[in-house]
Structures are given as C-alpha cells and as structure tokens.
C-alpha cells in the first residue's frame, strides 16, 4: 500500500505499508544540499546535519544514539548535493520513539557554541581524510570540470575556510530558510497501523513553525568542455571521463541505464572485458550515472599505472565510438531488461531501501515510483528508444575529464579526447 498525505502545515508524508515485516524505516528528507549553498557558506548543509546529533533540550548526544540503539534500532543521516536525510530503522513497536527522536533533533537541537567549535575540528578532519582518498578528490575535481562554478559543483563537505567561518547565527539562519515543511518529506516504510500513523505524524511534526515562504529554484548548469588535473604523490593515476547524461525524473533514464550496463556496468561489460580482461591495463574500470534536477552525466572511471594512461583513454574513446555504432540484438535487449529488473527488485528488499526510494521520489518528483510502473518502463525499452538516448548521450562523446595522480600531460590527454585521433591504433576497428 502506497499513500501520500499532506498534514496541516504542508509537510508531505509518504507511506508504504509492508505487513510481512516487523520493522519500520522512517526518514525525514530535506530538499537541501551543497547545491543550495554559495562560496561563502559551502559545507553548511553537511555541518547542520552533524549538529542535529549533538544534543537537544531533553537528550544529550549520547542519549540520542542510545534511545534508538537500546531497542535494537539504527539512526544515521547523510547530506548529498541536493538533499539531506535523517533516518531511523527500528522494530515496528517502537515507531513512536523513532518519530519522537527525529522531531526532537529537528526542533530542539541546542547548537551549543562549544559543540559547534568541537564539530569544526571533526569536519576538518573529515575533509583531510577526503583529501587522502584519490577517488574522493577525483569526484570533486570532476564535478568542477563538468559544471564549473555552478553550485552543483561545490563539494558537499565544504572546505577548511568555510567550515572554520561558521557561527551559530549562520547555522540557525540557514535552517530557518531551508528547513520548512513544504521543502521536506517524511517517508515511512514498513509495518505500521494506518489508523494511527497520520495522528503520530501530526503529533510530532504538525506544530512545525517556519518563517520562509519562498525558496529559489535550482540553477540550470551547462555541462562544460573542461579538463582538470590535480597532482598527488600516489602510485596510480585515477581518471574520470564525463559524457552527457539525463536529469532526474526522465523516463529515458531506463534506456540509458541499459546502455550504461552494456558499456561499463559490470564484469561482463565492454570496457571491463576489453581494457581489464583482454588488455590487462587496469584493475578497475566502470561507468555510472549521476542524475540531478535539470542536469545529469555519465562518468567512466578507471584507476591504473600512469604509463598506460594515454593508451587507455584512447582505447576508451575507441570503444565508445564502436559502441555508438553497435547493432544491439533483440536477444541482448531482452537480457538487458532482465538485468535491470533484477537489480531494481533486489534493491527493494529492505524497508530502508523502500523508504529511501519513496522519500527521494516524492521530494523531487512529487510522486511515488511504484515497482509495477518502473518494471513496465523497463519492459518498454526498445530499439527506437535506445537509439534516441544514444544520440543525446554517448554519441556526443567525452565532454570533460579529471585526473588525480602523477606523470600526466594534460594537453596531450585533452588532444586525444577532443580530436579524432587514436594514437595507439591507426583507426577505430569498426571502420576497417
């Protein structure tokens, strides 16, 4: 059973009742992340997420964790580019407690000055740890190559300078501007009594007071032709290549997922089989989608010995060229559909995954992505749709790139990507 209900103050509550489980997952979603920030307050959304766990008027930080963990539950949160989510998974008999703790964190967090200063040190260490991970550095660097100075390119953690500058007043003002009922969704999935659930939501969240009435829309960033390199003294070179993708909510996302799986989605994919298995040029290579409001990208990642970098980028470009000319058989389309359906269904095996799916869908699209509807869209993948999506994504080629490591000539790499040259093969094999 799915339902979307709006309580008295405009907060949407999305419900999925699952009678055969004995747990319930509750998530408070806020349509706010690093994309909603500016250069002066970058990282503030993530900082606020941390601070909501640092104590309320009636619970200490330890008591927040203990109240859920003492009954076998789990409590956590995350901040992304476009959203923040605070969530609890707990036995259905303790649903009241989950709502009580989440609402207490939301409405009664102290934001004590000493805790703010302490948390600055914690998050700066998190930033430093991020800098020690080449893959994380690459992700932020490639975001900058893709979107330039648009806020969607901002790092979720912020930087040392912005984090150090945060004051209690800045944090509270930001919460007042973004944490309002119409900008949030309460997602509940699992076992619950439908007669009581709305009363509980109204009880814990109905008195939510807010000042801000209007929120600015997200920007409409252009995907750039840009290539960036960050030097780090590490053994491997980490590479991310960017192609045009699709925005969140596009029905064409399913043909794109089909194509992505074929190109670089797993161990049987074209890139993995050619560059790792046949050529032995890397350990890891894969492609993946990132979809956001009014923008999206396909990224190809590989980590390898720098001496193979020019060859591998040339090979990826060549395989991509052949991929766009490929005649995909009916048998391959049927297999691809089944692969997508299997991955999707397996991804809905827990109350947590269903809560995440429902909450994000209602937050950004104002609808529930019911499994039968998704499966029907996957079944409707055909040659015509595949061709149309190929034209607006992979066929446009590699648009941008980012590199983290040593021993790279960015100008040569840029020349390989932007020009019709294949230095390690006289011409693409599909043209022979």
* pTM for this predicted structure: 0.94
H or E element that contains 242: strand 237-244
User: What residues does 241 pair with on adjacent strands?
Assistant: 300, 401
151, 173, 205 — which closes off a domain?
205
> Which tens digits make up the pLDDT trace of 114-139?
999 999 999 999 999 999 999 999 99
The residue annotated as part of the active site, out of 16, 37, 49, 319, is 49
For 298-327, give the secondary structure using H, E and C: EEEEEEECHHHHHHHHHHHHHHHHHHHHCC
Domain assignment of residue 318, yes or no: yes
Residues 26 and 69 in one domain: yes
Using 50, 70 and 90 to split pLDDT, how confident is the model at 429? very low
DSSP per position, 393-430? TGGG---EEEEEESS--HHHHHHHHHTT--TTSSS-GG
**Into how many domains does the chain fold?**
2
Q: Report whether pLDDT(423) > 60.
A: no
83: Cα separation from own chain's centroid: 9
User: In the prediction, which pLDDT does 419 show?
Assistant: 86
Say what the pLDDT of residue 420 is: 67
Dist. CA 182–CA 190, nearest whole Å: 24
Domain region containing 298 = 227-431
User: 276: pLDDT confidence band, cut at 50, 70 and 90?
Assistant: very high
Q: H/E element holding 244?
A: strand 237-244
Whether residue 210 has pLDDT greater than 90? no
What's the token pair of residue 157? 């953690």
Q: Give a yes or no: residue 61 inside a domain.
A: yes
Q: Are residues 90 and 235 in the same domain?
A: no
Verify that 156 and 241 share a domain, yes or no.
no
CATH of the domain at 139: 3.30.830.10
- pLDDT for the residue 25: 98
Assess if residue 179 is contained within a domain: yes
Shared domain check, 154 and 286 = no
What's the whole-number mean pLDDT along residues 211-226?
82
Task: Look at residues 170, 205, 240 and tell me which one is the last residue of a structural domain.
Answer: 205
Write the pLDDT tens digit of every residue in 51-68: 999 999 999 999 999 999
Residue 222: inside a domain, yes or no? no
Angle, CA 396 vertex, CA 149 and CA 405 arms, to 5° = 55
220-241 average pLDDT score: 96
Q: Is 237 in the same domain as 178?
A: no
Do residue 232 and residue 200 come from a single domain? no
Q: Say whether both 154 and 59 belong to one domain.
A: yes
Q: 15 with 22: CB under 8 angstroms?
A: no
pLDDT recorded at residue 134: 97
**213 within domain boundaries:** no
- The pLDDT of residue 424: 55
- For 284, the 3-state DSSP assignment is strand
The answer to whether position 214 is within a domain reads no
Pair 192, 201: CB distance under 8 Å: no
What are the DSSP calls for 6-46, one per residue? E-TTS-EEEEEE-TT-SEEEEEEEES-SGGG--TTTTTHHH
Dihedrals phi, psi of 5, to nearest 5 degrees: -125, 140
Q: Which two tokens stand for residue 100?
A: 């009580």
d(CA 71, CA 266): 39
- Residue 185 burial (CB count, 10 A): 26
Q: How confident is the model at residue 333 (pLDDT cuts 50, 70, 90)?
A: very high
Tell me, yes or no, whether 58 and 126 share the same domain.
yes
Residues 164 and 309 in one domain: no
- Domain assignment present for residue 219? The answer is no
Q: Do 183 and 231 have their domain in common?
A: no
Is 49 known to be catalytic?
A: yes
pLDDT of residue 190: 97
* Percentage of residues in the chain having pLDDT higher than 90: 92
Give domain status of residue 218, yes or no: no
Co-location of 310 and 344 in the same domain = yes
261 and 395 together in one domain: yes
**What proportion of the chain, given as a percentage, has pLDDT over 70?**
96
């Amino acid at each position: 059973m799915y339902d979307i209900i709006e309580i008295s103050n405009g907060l949407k509550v999305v419900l999925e009742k699952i009678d055969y489980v004995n747990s319930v997952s509750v998530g408070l979603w806020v349509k706010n992340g690093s994309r909603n920030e500016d250069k002066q307050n970058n990282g503030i959304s993530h900082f606020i997420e941390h601070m909501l766990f640092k104590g309320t008027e009636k619970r200490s930080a330890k008591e927040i964790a203990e109240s859920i963990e003492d009954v076998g539950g789990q409590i956590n949160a995350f901040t992304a580019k476009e959203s923040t989510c605070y969530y609890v998974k707990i036995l259905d008999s303790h649903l009241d407690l989950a709502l009580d703790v989440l609402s207490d964190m939301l409405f009664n967090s102290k934001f004590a000055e000493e805790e703010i200063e302490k948390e600055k040190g914690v998050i700066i260490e998190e930033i430093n740890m991020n800098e020690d991970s080449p893959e994380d550095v690459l992700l932020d660097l490639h975001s900058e190559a893709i979107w330039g100075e648009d806020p969607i390119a901002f790092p979720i953690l912020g930087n040392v300078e912005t984090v150090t500058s945060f004051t209690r007043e800045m944090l509270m003002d930001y919460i007042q501007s973004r944490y309002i009922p119409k900008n949030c969704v309460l997602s509940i999935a699992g076992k619950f009594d439908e007669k009581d659930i709305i009363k509980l939501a109204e009880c814990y969240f109905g008195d939510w007071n807010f000042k801000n009435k209007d929120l600015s829309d997200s920007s409409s960033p252009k995907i750039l032709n840009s290539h960036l390199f960050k030097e780090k003294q590490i053994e491997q070179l980490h590479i991310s290549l960017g192609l045009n993708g699709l925005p969140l909510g596009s029905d064409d996302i399913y043909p794109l997922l089909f194509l992505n799986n074929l190109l670089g989605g797993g161990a049987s994919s074209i890139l993995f089989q050619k560059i790792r298995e046949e050529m032995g040029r890397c350990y890891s290579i894969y492609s993946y989608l990132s979809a956001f409001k009014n923008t999206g990208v396909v990224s190809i990642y590989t980590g390898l010995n720098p001496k193979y970098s020019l060859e591998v980028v040339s090979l990826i470009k060549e395989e991509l060229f052949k991929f766009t000319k490929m005649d995909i058989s009916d048998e391959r389309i049927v297999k691809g559909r089944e692969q997508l359906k299997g991955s999707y269904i397996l991804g809905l095996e827990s109350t947590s995954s269903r809560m995440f799916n429902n909450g994000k869908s209602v937050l950004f699209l104002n609808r529930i992505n019911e499994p039968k509807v998704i499966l029907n869209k996957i079944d409707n993948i055909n040659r015509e749709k595949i061709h149309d999506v190929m034209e607006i994504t992979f066929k446009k080629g590699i648009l941008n790139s980012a590199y983290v490591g040593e021993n790279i000539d960015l100008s040569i790499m840029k020349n390989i990507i932007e020009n019709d040259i294949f230095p390690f093969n006289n011409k693409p094999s599909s043209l022979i």
